[in-house]
Chain A
Amino acid sequence: MARFVVRRLAGMVAVLFAVSVVVFFVFNVIPNSDPAERMAGKNATAALVENIEEDWSFDEPLPQQYLAMMGKVFTGELTSYEPEIPVNERIAEGIPATLSLAIGAAAIWMFFGILLGYLSAQRPHGWLDKLLGGISVAGISIPVFLLGPVLIYLLAEQLGLFPNGQYVGITEDPLDWAYHLVLPWLTVATLSIGFYSRVLRSNMLDAMDEDYVRTARAKGLSERQVLRRHVLRNSLIPIVTLFGLDFGATVAGTAIITESIFDLQGVGFYAAEAVGNLELPPIMGITLYGAFFVVLFNALVDVAYAYLDPRVRLGSEAR
């Protein structure tokens, strides 16, 4: 098992290296215009462009440029040019909001996703299944940028039940913190609830056809015991995998749109800002940060999977 973990971590590093190279290419090597000009963004002056050229070694060969870029990333010298803010700092400032959004939404979507999926699979094709199925399909079809504004308009503006944005730190006021996050949590969770409930339902229906479920029934277990201990347990394994990746992606800041709509000053919000100003350094930094989390959670998920499915764990020793 330990060997497996080590191998996975080594793989992680390799992928991150490849990712950084890709990022490098996207930003510096895309054959179109002068990279320095692009880097300077919207309000470029000649002096700024020259500065950038030197700073980033754009006149040097490619490997040199790559090292220059990575050097900046790791020493925290990556800064956006207008305004001049160190990217790493700003990302760090944004993490609490992003984490709050991710963790809360994740808790909601996992709980309801699994519950709805389980209920659907219990009596397939029944009325409850069809109803929940419809809700699920609707859930995954409503994009965040529709749901968010609708929730804000209905619940915040019209009914005044919830605030329409802003992030309040948990240390400042836990209740207020949660109060401000309810709508964003719902917005992010809705899509995933639909998705997970459908996946779990599908997995459970497949599992119910398996031979070991027939054995479980033949052993004299009650239907509920069969569902919970054999069908559900086995069906959850792929769900754990998906969850790990999803959660990683959310922490990575893919909740960009939600954070923009609800004015939550997280990492995603920062990314949206940078896009608006066409600033490359922050986007570069956030992309690397994001990839790091995705790859990290990928590796974690693999390890978790090995823990949950003994066949994977003991791969080479199986007969």
Chain B
Amino acid sequence: MAAGRFLRNRLALAFLGVFVLIVLFVLAAPLWAEHVAETGPNETHTLEKLAIDGEQRDVVTPEGRPIGPVWFDAGGKFFLGADSRLGRDEMVRLMYGGRTSLLIGIASAAITTALAVLLALLAGYYRGWVDALIARTLDVIWSLPALLLGIALGVSLAVGGLKLGPIELSGGSLWVPVLIITVVSIPYVARPLRGEVLALTRKEFIEAAVAQGAGPLRVMLREILPNLSSTIIVFFTLTIANNLLLEAGLSFLGAGVQPPNSSWGTMISVGEELLKTAPLLAIVPGAMIALTVLALNIVGDGLRDALNPRAKIRLEAHAGRVEPEGAAV
């Protein structure tokens, strides 16, 4: 029924399509790189020339100006122009950078949501000192402004990487930003989820299940979790959007994705220097982020509406009763 409602929401459906297109776009990166642009995201072409309409044009002028958008004039090479003095293909970088950004965004959102659900279940079910510990820890993380914490972690890990038992990550690994963003965004999901679980565990059906002899795992998985599912789905979607913004912000400042990797965020910081002469270099990646985030926000809203209709009249299916002002006896 909820699926039906969502499908009727044309706006959400349209933007879901947009998101899918964006994903396809970035997945097509290797194809474009190999067959159309014939170059990789990190290959420089500073001293080369491009054949357009019979003319030979500098990819990067002697003064350091990169070529602007060429569109299809050179068969797709340098479709969006070159990205800087380094003369890399902006379009290829856009696609590969998008892969990085989406990868980090989705992976961190998945881990965040999973961890948040776990923490919320533990806190809400066991209450007492377990809840106090979890709640206080979340509070502390949350007290550190997200971006600052992210930067702190980012800089710290960028220089030295991470060695935790068997896990060893170099400073340039993509898991580093994933980890950082996960940690930073956990409180945003865990706190509201914890609230919901606390409210749910007060309800009688939990007492009933426990009285029937259900152990903690059963109660958490069979009773609580299904009631959280709508919230989890919505949160997951919105967290991807949020994490995309976080990653872009961190990478823009230099505390996120490290070279040689690139993401939409790093592309914006590169492009920002050339804002006067080649505004597209900063604006296009930014616009991609904005579009993706917009799509995810609208889809998330649509999901929320579909899973939780705010109808003034709610029908109780089995009894067929209606009490419009909700004051049923």
Contacts and interface: CB of A to CB of B under 8 A. Distances in A.
Interface in A86-140: 137-138, 140
Interface string B142-164: 01111111011111111111111
Given A18-B136, A275-B254, A30 B152 contact: no
B13 interface: no
B310 A140 contact: no
Contacts of B148: 252-254, 256, 271, 283, 286-287, 290-291
Given A31-B162, A275-B255, A291 B144 contact: yes
Contacts of A32: 157, 160-163
Interface in A199-246: 205, 209, 211, 214
Contacts of B252: 145, 257
Interface string B226-259: 0000000000000001000100110011110000
Interface stretch (B65-73, B74-82, B196-204, B292-300): B292-300
Q: Is the interface of B mostly helix, strand, loop or mixed?
A: helix
B287 interface: yes
A33 B161 CA distance: 8
A4 interface: no
A278 B144 contact: no
A290 B279 contact: no
Given A19-B143, A141-B290, A145-B268, A31 B253 contact: no
A30 B157 contact: yes
A30 B154 CA distance: 12
Contact of B144 (A22, A146, A205): A22
A15 B141 CA distance: 10
A145 B249 contact: yes
B312 interface: yes
A150 interface: yes
What's the interface size class on A, roughly? 35 or more
What's the interface size class on B, roughly? 35 or more
A252 B163 CA distance: 31
A181 interface: no
Interface string A252-295: 11101100110000000001101110101001101100110011
Nearest to B310: A205
A149 B272 contact: yes
B118 to A, nearest CB: 21
B297 A256 contact: no
B317 to A, nearest CB: 21
A226 B148 CA distance: 43
Given A15-B143, A294-B143, A280 B155 contact: yes
Given A143-B289, A145-B252, A256 B151 contact: yes
A30 B156 contact: yes
A254 B294 contact: no
A307 interface: no
Give the top 3 A-B pairs by smallest Cβ distance, nearest first: A146-B286, A33-B160, A141-B294
9 contacts: A15-B139, A32-B160, A38-B156, A38-B159, A140-B297, A149-B268, A149-B271, A157-B279, A290-B148
